[in-house]
Every structure is written in C-alpha cells, then in structure tokens.
Structure 1
Amino acid sequence: MPNKRYAFRPLQELQSLQGSSRTKRSKPRGGLGEGLDSECTPTSSCIQLWSPPHKQLKNTSKGKENEDGQFVLGRRSRRRKESSAGLSWDHLPDELLLRVLLHLRLQDLVRVSAVCMRWRRLAFDRCLWSSVDLEGLVHAGPALQQVLKIGVSRLRCPRCCVEELRLADAGPLPVTHMDLSSSIIPTPALEGVLRRCTLLQCVSLEGLQLSDSIMASLASNPGLLQLNLSGCSGFSAAPLGAMLRSCSSVTQLNVSWCHFTADHVKSVVDNVTPAVTRLNLSGYRESLSLDDVKVLVDRCPHIQTLDLSDCTLLTAESFPVLKQLPSLQHLSLSRCYHIHMAALTDVGRTFPSLALLDVFGLGQDAHLPGLKKQMPHIGVNSRPFSGVARPTPAGRLPGTPADRAMWGGRCRLRFRL
C-alpha cells in the first residue's frame, strides 16, 4: 500500500517532499515488497500533467471552403498543361489529319512521315497513295517498291529505270491502272509485279521485254479493258492467244510493231474478243494478209477504229471486206503501198460512217487537196499517231507542255524534279 504521506498532494509538494526524502531516506527493511512500497509512483493525474502537448495540424489549404474557420479537406482535379499555341495537333483525330495531308505534294508527304510514328502511319495511309505518278524519277526501284506495298491503285511510271524489285512477301496488289511504257525494268521483276495483279483494267507495257509467264499473269485479269503491248517481244503465240481468250472484256487492244511472226498474227486474229471496238494491228508488212482481215471482220463486227498501217500485203481488195464493219469511224492504211490513191476516191461512198482516214505515204502531198475535196466530211491525215489503248493522248504539238494524264485522269501524287 502506498505511503499515505504522498497521497492526494499537489505536484509542488511532491517535488519538495522528494527532495527532502533524499537526505532523510533510510535503508529499507524487510524484503523486496517493502522496497517497492517505499518507491514514489506518480498517479495518473501526474502523468497527464507531464505528457507532452499534442501537435496541432496547420491549416495549409487555402480556398473558399476554409474562410469560415472550419477545416474541410477538398480534392481538386489536376489541371492539364495547356499549349501556348492553342489546340495541339495531337488532339486532332486521324480523319481530320488525313484531310490535311491530302493537300500535300509527294515530296512534302515523305518529309512529314519523319515527324513521329503517328504521322508516319498517317502519311503512308493507302487513301493518300491511291494514284501516283513517278515519271522523271531516274532510279525508280525503291519508290516503285514502296508505293506497290502501300497499295496504289493508279500507277504511272513511264520512261523510268528500275534495277530490281523485292516483293517476295507482298500479297495481292490492288492496281487497276498501270503505265510502265518505255521503262527499263528486268523481266523477272515485272513478272513478280504482274503475278500479284488480278484487278487490272488498263495496262500499258509498251516497248518492254515480256515473257510467257507475263501473258499468263495478264490472263488472270478478267476485267481488263485496255491493253497496250505495242513494240513488245519475248512471248510465244500460244500464250498470247490464251490471254486474249481469257480477257474477253477488252475493248481496246494495241499489238502494233511487236516482234510477231505469222503465227502471232493468226493467234491475235483468231482469239481477240468480239467485244473489241478499237484495234491496232499495224507494222506487219509480210505477216498480215487479206485472209486474216476477213477472219477479223467476221469475228469483231463492232470495230470502230482499225489501224492496219504498214501491212504491205493489203490491196484495194480489202475495201469490200472492211465495208462489212458498219460502225467503222477511223481507218488507218498508211504506207500500205499496194493501195493506189485512185482507189481512195470511193472511200466516202464505201464507208458512210467513216470520219477519219490516215493514208500517210500513199501519194504525194499535192494529191491530198483533191482527195480532201472529194471527201469533205472525212478528216484525211489528221491523226499522225495512234492513240489506241495508249494511256497518254498522242499528237501533241512541239513546244506544248507534256500531258501527264493517264486514261483520261491525272494522278494525285506526282514526282517533281
């Protein structure tokens, strides 16, 4: 039991008593319990008096909710850092950015693709590269490979040099219009491109070295409408005939001045589709005969434009045969030297629907005024170049700017030097 001397005494008295007890304290008697009873143990009230004061929370929140003195914990959303220039490009949707990129030129579109990954993805979107003109590009291999992988549908690449093309992993190509006229391109590379084309509608391979494999690839395009193979070589007669049978929708066909034998000419005449309306078979001096013309007229009665220039085996006897074409409007017999100028005077009556007649080289220029006078409704020698199945209109005057149209339309992206 605690000493009654210390019970219920104030703190000051306890402290003075403790000081006096230090001098008068005697050695404790008895055991351990007596020693503990003699210790001065503070009461709970003393502990409360000596406990350190509680720290008060400082009101660090500065706002209207604390103006009345009552503390309120308020949470505010973090403000976004606004751009000093206004609306950021990153906030624009892809559709709007594509509309902006649609107005850029080809070179600028390539520069924009280096800004960031998103702009690169948008800059090479297929909708921006639907039609591309690469004329004038010296080494067109890398650019041609890139646009083919993107998915170009209208491709104009005439008179270009292509060293190689790597399209081993490429799938089907959505190309519908392709102009590779007078380009330098390896035959295996061209085979790799055409092997993946099944949607072709208009194709110009003028002056290229082809192969039987290319003929088989062209045959897999049932929607082909215009085909220009002028000046081509390297393929056999049988694959040519098979291709013409498969492409039954062709309306314009140009196979002039190819490295043809009599078998090639016969393959064309026997297999060309009856739907053809414009046909160019010029340049076969010793290969195209009157019998071939008869087969052709019987097979293709809807021909409107027929070019048989430089076929020296033809004579005036071909006029009664050609008369069986009721829709014939343009006839070319230039340099068919076995046809005399006197036989041309009755052409106006023989072909009532004829509007254009080309007879370059058949007579002297002095005879042309009289011939034109006899046929005032027919334009004589007004078309020095044939435009059958060719992508770009022929017959431009010297000094006029080059026409970069392709089958009646221009490409949106154009390479410029």
Structure 2
Amino acid sequence: MVLDHIRAARAISRVELAAATGLTAPTISEVVRELIADGLVVEAGRGVSTGGKPPVLVQLNPHARYSVGVQLERNMCVIVIVDLAGRQVARTSFRGAASMPPDRALPLVAAQVDALLATAGVDRDKVLGVGLVGYGPQDRRAGTLLTPQPTQEWFGYPVARRLAESLGLPVLLDNDAAAAAIGEYWMGAVDPRSTYGCIYMATGIGGGVVVAGEVYRGSSSNSVEIGHISIDVNGDDCPCGNRGCLENYAGPSAVVRQALAEPGLAQRLGLDPAEGDFLAEFARIGAAANAGEPSARALIERSARYLGCAAVTMACLFDLDVIVLAGPSFAVAGAIYQSLVQQEVDRRTFARRAHPVRVVPSVSGSDAAAIGGAVLVLQSELTLGAHARPEDGARSDAATASQAAAQPAE
C-alpha cells in the first residue's frame, strides 16, 4: 500500500504518507526503511518546509524492477519493456506471428523478448514477468484465448503457459483494452480516485473501465466489450454471435470496406482491395481526412459518431468522468475522433448536468495496450490487494512454477 502511494505521488514525505494511508509514523518509517533496503524506493531530496525542518522526500527507484508487455494483434506483435515507474525503456515490433500456428508463433515471441531484454541491458533477475494482451474473449484463469481468430488453432490454446515455459518468466494474460486503461492510471495520467473509461481501437474496438485504480472485471474478465454492443438490431450477424455490432460500422476494417465501396475513392487514396493489413489502409484514409479529402473525412466522421454513441453508453452505464482514446487506429485521425466523441458526450450523456466528461488521448499512444500489459504485471506483483484478487488465477501453472526465474514480489 505504501509503495503504491509513493508511485502515485511521484515524490512524497513520510509525514504525507502517514496522512494518506492512516498508518502511524513509526510504521511508515519502518515500511519505508524496508522498501529502501529492497531497492524499490530511494530518498529524493527535501520538500518545502512548513515551519520546521524540510521533510525528506522518497520516490520509486525506477530501475529496481522491470516488466514486459506483449501485444498480439492480428497484423502486428508489439513488445515493450517498462521500468517500475511504467516508463518505456525498449520496444520492438514485427509482423507475421498471428498468421502462424501458436506452437510456432509463441517461441518466436519468446525469442524476440529475450533479444529485447539483452539489447536493452536489463538484468533478467529484475524482470517481474510478462503481460500478454490480446483481443477477443479469454479465459484469464486458464490463460487461454476463446476466439478462433486469426485461425482455429488459437482457440483454447494455453498461450500464457506456453509463453511462460519458453521464457522462464511468469505470464499474465489480459485484454488489450483493459491493459490500455490501467496503463493510464499507473502513468499518472488520471486522478487516482476517478472512474474512467478507455476506448481502445486497433483492428477492432474494445473498452475498459477503471475504478479507483482497479480494472472493472465483471464475472469472467470479459467486460466492457463496446465493440460488440448492438447499434442496429436488424444489422448483419457478427462472428461474436451478436447482430449489428458497433465494430462492424465504426472499426477500421469497416471504414476500409466502406472506402473500397465508394466509386473512385480507393484509387484516389491508393487503397489496395487485396491488402490484408487494415491498419495501414485505415491510416491512409485517416491521413486523407486530415488533409481535407471530403469523402475520406465523411467516413472518419461517421466512424467517430458511432464511437461517440458507444462513449455515451459507457458514460451512462458507469458514470465516468474521463474517457481515454487509445490504440494505433487513433494515431493518424485521433484529433477528429476526439472532437466528435467529445461533442456526442457533451450533448447526450445522462449525467452531463452533474459533471463534465472529458475525452482525452492516451499518454501511451499506439503502444497503450503493450505498455498496459507490462503495467498489469507491476500492479499484480507490487500493489495493494494483488494477492487477494480472484483474477490472480490468470497466472498459469507454468508461470507460477517459473516464478523462481523472476525477482520475488515484495
């Protein structure tokens, strides 16, 4: 608990820690002494005097521990290493993993993680674990994906256990949108007491909600799937089993299909009907929209209005005060999305007369999910209640067995 308060404050005195936690001054002194001895916390000069001797401030030692985030997307795998403060210290990305069967893809991912740790010069004994994030329904407790995408071989495959065996590190499986959402909290981008949502858009659309620093999980950790709320009860069937899903109207693949169906637009923008990388094609449309191309602008604005509808739904259900837009699909036309989603939220949110709802871009940009995956490992290992939460079952048996390969949690 003390460590989490130090993390949130960035720099704080022992007196302020006692006031914030309700613990006695002697207890705070002892806990801080232990954290300093463990190398997790360092003294950081003196604060402002309130009449007596200026207090000594303490802060996290960012180099004390590290974690790895791995994002498995349909077209891309992104790997990041973050320090204890959540700051990215190394990154790599590569294509092709999702097109392979998992028994070939995961060893490749493990090799890339090993190479990145070596290149960054990170002491492996200081690595707490790996946060593996992806899309679709999941069984976090078993560490398996419950989606046949990109191929049927991935359905039910024990991805967390197999990656843990290859790396000799604990692996936590989680949803990309939930990871992106909690990353904002750890990075200090939102008020620690706030209730905020995250709309995550890569090749698909997902959502996450964080309440006082904890991800809202629901009954099976498959919550806030806003990409699969129905916006047209008479719409087309979706592979998820629902009908008229938001993702099929506002997602990047939907926007690309709409552009290809508009006479002459594909040729003007240089779109390739045979291109399987929807993110690259979507970026072309976004760039054209930014440049003022009328048809491209209209497509992006229509997508943004649909997302605004989803944002209003999230805000009404969870009484949010902030909505974060995260993911690679906001990289090019994010300003258009932010403006139009904010308009919809201002106009239509149920509690708009009680409090405003701000729509903001993610501080982690396109890598929000990968960074968030690494942050989930830090949070799981080092903060209040981590070992009491039911979702800790998401750590695979193999990952638990490999705990000796990582620095034990303090």
TM, length-normalised to structure 1: 0.25
Higher RCO (CA < 8 A, seq sep 6+): 2
Task: Name whichever structure is richer in strand by fraction.
Answer: 2
Report the TM-score, using the length of structure 2 for normalisation.
0.25
> Between Structure 1 and Structure 2, whose CA radius of gyration is higher?
1
